[in-house]
Amino acid sequence: MSDKNLSIWKQVDETAPGYTKASELNGRIVTSINGTYMVKRATEIFGPIGKGWGYEITEERFDQGGPIIHNGNVLGNSIMHTIKLTLWYLDDEGERREVSHFGHTPYVLGTHYGSMTDFDAPKKSLTDAIKKCLSMLGFSADVYLGLFDDQTYVEAARVKESVKKADDADAELIKQRQEFGEWAEGELKAYGQIPNKAALRTVHQGHLKKIARQCQVLGIDQEKAKKPFVDAFQARMDEIAPDVDLVCADCGVVGKGKPDSKCPECGGKRSPE
């Protein structure tokens, strides 16, 4: 039942990075998705708009916001354009299904130069509402789930997109595998230069995450790719923090190990003798 419920979601949850753009909004970086790209994806799944899917605007309004202040003067109030949209589509059995959401765009807003009216606000609100309705069905879920905040995810997605778009997918896959191998070789050489345990752990975890993402896309044995990195991590850790004589404060067992390691017998805290 779960797989059936996610049948649409699993087809559309991944977003091609070439159709996204990172921008700053209220002091934070957000990833926006090209609206036409999402319409195209909906058409691929449901059919042409107006036949396999479509939408109806069920509500439209202009809401007054806070005052616009420029050089100490109140120029009026900001105004937000809002629409409520119901998106419909035909499921596999030909049944009509619906999902509703809102779209918002500043219509009158303040800028560094004073107030401004955006006459494209209704068009932008429409696009916003369509994208939000589609997101509830799983379209571009990776963006809405925050996966695009993870650079290793974006890098792997770009590789996948480049292979998919290439005239010769096999040749592009070979090229990407070679580039991955060159990256791995270069990163492994840098392990000996990492100065402390905290930095070493951070770098190593980042490498393991990237390897997992890239191997999944490139069809490479993940465990085989990880092994030299795990070995390099352990070797450098031994250089930074060699084994010393330790005694467990709980059970009294004496043995060698890393200064911050737990007792293998009881899991208690160990300290140098």
- Phi/psi for 19 (5° steps) reads -110, 20
pLDDT at 240: 87
pLDDT, averaged in runs of 10, over the chain (273 residues): 84 95 80 96 97 97 93 92 98 94 95 92 97 97 95 95 94 96 95 93 96 96 96 91 83 81 84 76
Q: Does one domain contain both 135 and 186?
A: no
Q: Does one domain contain both 8 and 140?
A: yes
Domain boundary among 114, 144, 174: 144
Q: Does one domain contain both 174 and 273?
A: no
- CA gap 116, 108 in Å, rounded: 6
Q: Does one domain contain both 248 and 224?
A: no
**pTM of structure:** 0.79
Domain boundary among 144, 175, 209: 144
Q: Does one domain contain both 130 and 35?
A: yes
The domain that contains 34 carries what CATH number? 3.30.390.80
Q: Does one domain contain both 172 and 230?
A: yes
Q: Does one domain contain both 137 and 225?
A: no
Domain boundary among 103, 119, 144: 144
Burial of 143 (0-12, 13-18, 19+ CB in 10 A): buried
Q: Does one domain contain both 82 and 162?
A: no
- CA gap 131, 42 in Å, rounded: 10
- Domain membership of residue 266 as a residue range: 242-273
- Distant-in-sequence, close-in-space partners of 58: CB < 8 Å, separation ≥ 6: 84, 85, 86, 100
pLDDT at 1: 47
DSSP letters along 13-40, please?
----GGGEEEEEETTEEEEEE-HHHHHH
- CA gap 64, 108 in Å, rounded: 9
Rg (CA), the chain: 27
Where does the chain have alpha helices with state H? 2-5, 9-12, 35-46, 121-135, 141-144, 151-165, 169-189, 197-218, 222-240
- Phi/psi for 247 (5° steps) reads -130, 140
Counting the structural domains of the chain, the total is: 3
Q: Does one domain contain both 94 and 33?
A: yes
- CA gap 241, 196 in Å, rounded: 9
Q: Does one domain contain both 17 and 116?
A: yes
pLDDT at 83: 97
- CA gap 197, 167 in Å, rounded: 45
Q: Does one domain contain both 111 and 230?
A: no
Q: Does one domain contain both 123 and 170?
A: no
